[in-house]
Amino acid sequence: MQAYYDYIKSLHLIFVITWFAGLFYIPRLFVYQIEASQKPSPDKEILGKQLKLMAKRLWFIITWPSAILTTIFAASLLILRPGILNDSWMHVKLGFVLLLFIYHLKSHLIYNQLQRDIIRWSSNQMRIWNEGSTIILFAVIFLVIVRDAVNWIYGVLSIFLLGVLLMLGIKLYKRIRDKNPDA
């Protein structure tokens, strides 16, 4: 099985990428669904139906299968190299992976609500939610590449700084959008 390690690692990375692609795009579809729900008829119904279909296909054809395959290949890698679980950076990485699963499951709850036309988030709140997966991705990449105990701490702190900058960017974009709705 060790001979297949690089192939399994490649498949793991491919499905991590497709999983994140789904997690990056699904909140954007949520934003569009929320905004479509505020449009007058018949736009509201036409857009709502199309966006629900797009979200369903993205969620169940790309995002969920990618999450499952990522997990299977990650478990395989850990079975092949169990010693890596002794590294402190791996503990932190697995903590962020847990956060990613929580983010994924919460997104699934939001998906289910929007499919039933239950809207509990504003489009601006959903734009902020959209940045959650980005922050987790940055944290995991820094941890995997840097691995040094001191440097990954700086990397994680940088992630929080990135989060602050993203929030400021969202607020700036909202101001621009409020002044010019076509932006």
Q: Indicate the domain borders of the chain.
A: 2-179
CA-closest candidate to residue 153, choices 107, 89, 70: 89
Q: Which two tokens stand for residue 178?
A: 């409020």
Q: Say if residues 139 and 96 touch (Cβ distance below 8 Å).
A: yes
In this structure, which amino acid lies at residue 159?
Answer: I
- Reported as a pLDDT band with limits 50, 70 and 90, residue 2 is confident
102-135, pLDDT tens digit by residue? 999 999 999 999 999 999 999 989 998 998 898 8
For 1, residues 6+ apart whose C-beta sits below 8 A from its C-beta are 80
Q: Answer yes or no: is 104 a known binding residue.
A: no
26-66, pLDDT tens digit by residue? 999 999 999 999 999 999 999 999 999 999 999 999 999 99
Q: State how far the alpha carbon of 16 is from the alpha carbons of 21, 97, 124, in Å.
A: 9, 11, 27
Q: Answer yes or no: is 12 a known binding residue.
A: yes
Q: Say if residues 27 and 126 touch (Cβ distance below 8 Å).
A: yes
Q: At what angle do helices 149-179 and 132-146 cross, to 10 degrees?
A: 160
Say what the pTM is.
0.83
Q: Which two tokens stand for residue 130?
A: 């959209």
Instruction: Give yes or no for residue 172 having a pLDDT over 90.
Output: no
Alpha carbon distance 104, 65 (integer Å): 12
Burial of 34 per CB tally in 10 Å (0-12, 13-18, 19+): buried
